[in-house]
Amino acid sequence: MKLYYCPGACSLAGHIALHEAGMPFESESVDLKTKQTATGTDFNSVTVKGYVPALQLDDGQLVTENIAVLDYLASLYPQFAFDGPLARTRLLEQLAYISTEIHKSFKPFWHDSHEDQKATASAYITRRLQYLADTIKGDFLRGDQPGVTDFYLFVTLLWAKRFGVSVPAPLDAVYERLTARPAVQATLKAEGLA
Ligand SMILES: N[C@@H](CCC(=O)N[C@@H](CS)C(=O)NCC(=O)O)C(=O)O
């Protein structure tokens, strides 16, 4: 299994899951501006979508879209999934929320946007983070152990800190707990972010 990632991008979530799982995997960074991978491959030849994450399976199939990549990793490593009769539904529900309501709302910060657009986005993100803070089930989103939704949340909290977006206190605590984990530190180091 090989993860194509860009340092600090949303692919960091899957990268953390792979480190947390402790099983062998490969990874290769991608320059999103030039679309070249670290070994000089044209990333557009890996995926015409041209964006990360992209997870190449051992049989050659490619999984793209963070929700699908993280759902796949949760199916492979059930310790990162949800429990209970609606487990898969709850996992997808939370992944979709983080992707569509939080991740995508950072768009104005990545582009040359007006300050008022950034302020609007910032307030929106904080409101959406607040919902997660209000429904948290323990030390992490689902309970006492982190799962793929926490790893995805972590990426958005990293961005929130970078762009000065206010983070509710319970999620700040999740961020600190995740940052303290050796696998998260190893991932940040591997991406040149530690
Ligand atoms: N729809 C994709 C979007 C992923 C995405 O936004 N990737 C960003 C990094 S966080 C990217 O690679 N951007 C470069 C580009 O679109 O050219 C998903 O949810 O996985």
Backbone φ and ψ for 6, nearest 5 degrees, come out as: -125, 135
Mean pLDDT, residues 47-64 taken together: 98
The packing angle between helices 66-76 and 12-21, to 10°, is 10
Fold of 81-181: Glutathione S-transferase Yfyf (Class Pi); Chain A, domain 2 (1.20.1050)
Domain spans of the chain, in order of start:
2-77+183-190, 81-181
Atom of ligand 1 nearest to the CA of 10: 10
- Nearest alpha carbon, ligand 1 atom 3: 65
User: Could you read off the pLDDT of 150-175 as tens digits, one per residue?
Assistant: 999 999 999 999 999 999 999 999 99
**For residue 166, how far is the Cα from the chain centroid?**
19
Does 107 sit in the ligand 1 pocket, CB within 6 Å?
no
Mean pLDDT, residues 44-70 taken together: 98
In CATH terms, are 2-77+183-190 and 81-181 the same topology? Answer: no
Is the pLDDT at 112 greater than 90? The verdict is no
Atom of ligand 1 nearest to the CA of 51: 12
**For residue 10, how far is the Cα from the chain centroid?**
4
Does 29 sit in the ligand 1 pocket, CB within 6 Å?
no
Does 52 sit in the ligand 1 pocket, CB within 6 Å?
yes
Does 66 sit in the ligand 1 pocket, CB within 6 Å?
yes
Mean pLDDT, residues 19-47 taken together: 98
| Architecture of the domain made up of 2-77+183-190 | 3-Layer(aba) Sandwich (3.40)
User: Could you read off the pLDDT of 73-91 as tens digits, one per residue?
Assistant: 999 999 999 999 999 999 9
HSE on the CB side for 157, CA within 13 Å? 24
* Residues paired with residue 3 on neighbouring β-strands, in sequence order: 27, 55
DSSP-derived secondary structure letter, 100: I
Atom of ligand 1 nearest to the CA of 52: 12
Mean pLDDT, residues 116-120 taken together: 96
